[in-house]
Amino acid sequence: MCYRPFQVTEKVQIQDLTFQSIEVNHKVPAIGMLVSDQQSKIALTGDTAKMDGFWEVINQQENLDALLIECAFPNELDELAHSSHHLTPEGLQKELTKFTLSCPIYIVNIKPMYRERIVSELEALKNPRLNIFQVGKIYEF
């Protein structure tokens, strides 16, 4: 095994998988990822708040199979979400207006103590593309 640092936006090939890091907006340095193989391509934001650069990269992709995006706090904790650079359901909804592709959207990084409230607020958005990522479930793209 070998540790090899990489630069943001650099593409890294590991066997059949290609990883491209994408800068996101978080209080401490963080990245999103575009992960692809010969058949599938997914995007993952990781921890983030409002992010324009991420969308610029993602919206240029062809055949994106899924977007995994965080939603860490309920709407009532908007100030905390803003100061810690995370999304609420309302913030997520605003960010998704920048997303021009039509793949399924999976919500990840829901804080366990707020899960019920966040899921309820996400359901209230009535966005049929939103799916709550289930812990322990195996997903294939």
pLDDT in tens, 58-69: 999 999 999 999
| pLDDT for 7 beyond 90 | no
CB atoms within 10 A of CB 51: 22
> Residue 20: which residues within 8 A CB-CB, separation 6 or more?
9, 10, 11, 12, 33, 34, 57
Copy the structure tokens of residue 113: 């103590």
Mean pLDDT (the chain) is: 94
| pLDDT classification of 116: cutoffs 50, 70, 90 | very high
pLDDT at residue number 27: 82
pTM, two decimals, is 0.92
Mean pLDDT of 85-102: 97
Q: How far apart are CA 82 and CA 103, in angstroms?
A: 27
Radius of gyration of the chain (CA): 15
pLDDT at residue number 28: 82
| pLDDT classification of 9: cutoffs 50, 70, 90 | confident
For the stretch 24-37, pLDDT in tens is: 888 888 889 999 99
Domains of the chain: 11-132 (3.60.15.10)
Mean pLDDT of 42-54: 91
| pLDDT for 43 beyond 90 | yes
Please check whether residue 51 is in contact with residue 25, taking contact to mean a CB–CB distance below 8 angstroms.
yes
